Structure 1
Amino acid sequence: MISDNNQLLRFTTAGSVDDGKSTLIGRLLYDSKAIFEDQLETVSSISKRKGQEHINLALFTDGLRDERAQGITIDVAYRYFTTPKRKFIIADTPGHIQYTRNMVTGASTANVALILIDARHGISEQTKRHAFIASLLQIPHIIVCINKMDLVDYSEKVYNDIRSHFEEFSSKLYVKDIRFIPISALDGDNVVNRSKNMLWYQEAPLLYTLEYMHISSDINKIDARFPVQTVLRPQSKEFLDYRGYAGRVASGIFRPKDKVTILPSGFTSTIKSIDTLDTSLEEAYAPMSVSITLEDDIDVSRGDMIVKANNIPTATQEFDAMICWLHTNTARPRTKYTILHTSNEQKAMIKEVIYKIDINTYQREVDNKELTMNDIARIKVRTTRPLMIDEYRDNRITGSFVLVDDGTYETVAAGMIM
């Protein structure tokens, strides 16, 4: 499959502590020449000062640890690099179990999840947790990097055993594509170039796989959804009668003369124009930011949604969702939170915890319904006013939300509508 040179690929990295994630990212950045000269000189100097023969690739990313030590909270670090074939964004998340919630953030927009496994230790609880989250967020591709193969004498048997174990438990998950690559991030085996130490592995190395992997758009092109962010009423004489509804197209395509419905009111109209700062457009599609004007004078405000008249989402005050609880404070059932869904902000509560997921067995726990940090659960949400929703599997934008604590204004949960 020939890749689109202009196509951006977003991938997230996940692994337990010391699985070599920092070294792998450093290797990708170093070998793709995405390191500035002054950074390279600094890291080279530090490596020599520590008596290391080669450049310590992990130092390219270990600045995060220094910042954490200074009390600076960094949830997800985004790193950028390019090759002649493709542009990349890496969502680099911490490996400690208490930062599992950060993977949810980093993986929410990813096309690919790289899951690292230490070849010496095999699959851990964190491996299963990360795989489950990747499945829950419906990341279409997982690449399992079995790292530190140099420390197990590049054993094909070790690789095959870990692969079989992963395939066994991941059969319970919904992932379209899982690939396995034995690597040594430290020495570069099968990262950019094929390994001379693992001739038994005949498939492509990691970077080639990322460059040529076919990535289909996760934007829903069928269901037209336009959450209104603000109403534009210019005060200049030239635009005195202009009333536009500004926002970002969440999905689908809008064109002038399309018949649309405004939710939750249910009023109908026809699109008069689709405007940007400089010009009017013949069509708008995700993720474009535009202003839409209507033929009729209808009361439309922030939080409303413009949709095609023949394709209407569910408008409801109660729905089921899978959530990851992100906060150190335990969830308080029937306590009101603020729900943020597209441009809609209102009060909501967790009406019921239906079940939690035991991350080791993927079994449902119906007896233990107390939500603590990193818990993944299916819940029932009740809102004060109708929300215009789609299932997350159909639309990542209108199918997702966050809950905010009204007292602290901190985000406490991220949810995917079922």
Structure 2
Amino acid sequence: MTDDHDPVASPSERPVRRPFVDLAPPTTARGDDALASLLFDALDAAAEGVVEHDVPHGFHSWPAGMPPAVAATILDGLVDVDGQKGGGVVDPFSGGGTVGLEAVLHRRPFLGVDLNPLSARVGAVRTHRRSPGEADQFKAVVDAVVERSKRRVRERVRVRAEVPDDVAAAYAPHVLPELAGLLEEVAAVDGDEHRRTLAVVFSSILTKVSRRRGDTARLGGDDGADEKRVGRFFASEFFGAKAHELCRRQVALFARVGPAAPKPRFVVDDARRLPALLPPAWGRRAALVLTSPPYGGTYDYARHHAHRLAWLGLDAERFSRDEIGARRRRDRGPATFDAEVAAVLAAVSDSLADDGLAVLLMGDGELAGQRVPADGQLERLARGAGLSVVAVASAPRLDWRGGPARQEHLVALRRVHR
């Protein structure tokens, strides 16, 4: 007897989405010739959609994050341009862990900081290296969880989804209990590492199995429902497919860098507290800060991730309260965002080694009806934070609201020696 459900394609069989598909090739570069050229090349690589296919880039949707091609190009190029072959790398807005994964691939120590409590979990999973022997054990656990979840569905085991009503409403009546049962099976898994990893895999499927639009549409503020058809067992089997694909990529990462590369560290905290978070072993200074801060008045990360945080039982209060540049507060105007960015720049300055470099990827903001060019904002605020802008590259990007194209900027800064 066969189960009546839609087949699940392996994630590796589906097309790889380009991270910056709406980014045009860069048009301008200025400042230090070598650094400006490197920044230009990084934006160009992002526009082309160059992505590593064999490591966990792309696992767990994280819209508006730094494209892997940007981080890879910067870390590669700094060896020649800046003489950086080692030293600690910091991302104070670490999001889904893209910079952390590239730091692992470049065998550099890494610290990721983010107010979103989901960020540290996703980053740790994306950067985890799994040996072939560990992979066999993990896949056996995954298969057992999937089978137990499907058995629950067949036997109509009663279970309550411990999520708010608005989150529950995003799922079809037959999908909601399947997810709740699947999560209970994940929680029952032995071994902290397996349990943490599978919780993140669970988080990664939530939008796909909901009635909602994809992450990118929802990030722009469109929460309208598209009544997608999600078949019986689809959630459980898609979960299994995602877990197996993640495992394959973690094994590939192990093969690339081995077990001896520095283990990255991810913490849930505020970028404005960065100096207090740096490891003493680094002398509390970073060689490189590579990050993509929030764009002013553009995205609502706390709202975007609210359904995932609710399912996993993660506390979002501080994240929602202290999120920088949130779209829901765009009416406060540019001065408020200036103060937030100035505080971040001061923290970056206090965290950089004397010969260190900061590279920020920022897009133009829009606050209280005013377009805020990000490169000009950083140049205005840098000096007061003890920094100097040394190079900039820019590329046009479509405005999803239909207005004039915004500019995406890569900006390099150094500490001002006094």
Report if TM-score (shorter chain) is over 0.5.
no
Using the size of structure 2 for normalisation, the TM-score is 0.26
Larger Rg computed on CA atoms: 1
Higher helix share: 2
Q: Under a length normalisation based on structure 1, what TM-score does the superposition of the two structures give?
A: 0.26
Q: Which has the higher strand share?
A: 1
